[in-house]
Chain A
Amino acid sequence: GQNIDQPTEMTATEGAIVQINCTYQTSGFNGLFWYQQHAGEAPTFLSYNVLDGLEEKGRFSSFLSRSKGYSYLLLKELQMKDSASYLCAYMDSNYQLIWGAGTKLIIKP
C-alpha cells in the first residue's frame, strides 16, 4: 500500500480542540493536503502545506515537518458540523496525490 498513515477514528467534545496526525514516507514530495469529507459527500479542500511550519485558517490550522514526514490538522472550538472524515494526502514526485484512508472524527455534545 501507500506509505501514508492516519488514525482511523477519533472522538472529541463540542467546543474542545482536536489534533489529527498524519505520517508519510516518500522520496519525492511536493506538498501536503488536508480535505474534509462529510458522509456521503465529496471531499472539500481545507489546507495545503509545502514548507515547514504552521498555516492558520480560522478555526483550522495545519502543520508540516518535512524532515519527520509528519503533518497534523488542528481543529479548535469544535462544532457538531465538524463531524466528518479528514483526509490527508501528499503530492508525490509525479505530482499525483497519494491519499490516506481518512480519519473519522466524531463530535459529542
Chain B
Amino acid sequence: IAGITQAPTSQILAAGRRMTLRCTQDMRHNAMYWYRQDLGLGLRLIHYSNTAGTTGKGEVPDGYSVSRANTDDFPLTLASAVPSQTSVYFCASSSEGGGNNEQFFGPGTRLTVL
C-alpha cells in the first residue's frame, strides 16, 4: 500500500455498540489525526498523536478513544455509539505535527449510528 488507508469504508451501527475504526499509514509519518466531518461544519479534530506512544485530545474528544502503539496504526474506538456520532470520519497523517507539514488524508469511513 502507499499512503493512508481506513477500514471499514462504511458501517451502520446500532446505538450502544462498540466500534473501532482502523487507520494505517506507510509513509513513516510521526503525526496522525482523527477528524469528523459533518454537513455545514468544518472538519473537527477528535484526537491526535504527535508520535508513537503519545496521544492528545482535540476539539471533540468525548465518546472517543485512541491508541498509538506503533508508528503506522492509529485506531479510533467508540465505546458506546450514539446517533450524534453519525458522521464521516477521516484519518490523516503528517511527517511531523505543526508548522507547514501537509496533512495527508485517508479515504474516510462513513458511519451511521441508529
Is chain B found bound to chain A in the same assembly? yes
Residues of A bordering B, CB below 8 Å? 2, 4, 30-31, 41-45, 48, 50, 87, 89, 91, 95-102
Segment touching A, from B13-21, B41-49, B67-75: B41-49
Q: Does B34 contact A (CB under 8 A)?
A: no
Residues of B close to A91: CB separation below 8 A: 98-99
Asked if B42 contacts A100 (CB within 8 A), the reply is yes
- B41 with A101: CB separation less than 8 A: yes
Give the residue of B40, B44, B99, B108 whose beta carbon is less than 8 angstroms from that of A95.
B99
Residues of A within 8 A of B41 (CB): 101
Tell me if A's interface is mostly helix, strand, loop or mixed.
loop
Q: What is the bound-complex CA distance between A30 and B99, given in angstroms? A: 6
- For window 11-66 of B, CB contacts with A under 8 Å fall at 40-45, 48, 58-59
> Are A30 and B98 in contact, CB atoms less than 8 angstroms apart?
yes
Residues of chain B with a CB closer than 8 A to A45's CB: 102-104
A101–B37 alpha-carbon span in the complex (Å): 9
Name the B residues within 8 Å of A102 (CB-CB).
Answer: 42
CB of A99 within 8 A of CB of B100, answer no
Contacts of B108 in A (CB 8 A): 41-42
Contacts of B98 in A (CB 8 A): 30, 91, 95
Query: Which chain B residues lie closer than 8 Å to A50 at the CB level?
Result: 100
Instruction: Return A50 CB to nearest CB of chain B, in Å.
Output: 7
Q: Are B43 and A87 in contact (CB under 8 A)?
A: yes
Besides A48-B102, A87-B43, A101-B40, 20 new A-B residue pairs in contact (Cβ under 8 A), listed by A number:
A2-B42, A41-B108, A42-B90, A42-B108, A43-B105, A45-B102, A48-B100, A50-B100, A89-B43, A95-B97, A95-B98, A96-B59, A97-B43, A97-B45, A97-B103, A99-B43, A99-B44, A101-B41, A101-B42, A102-B42
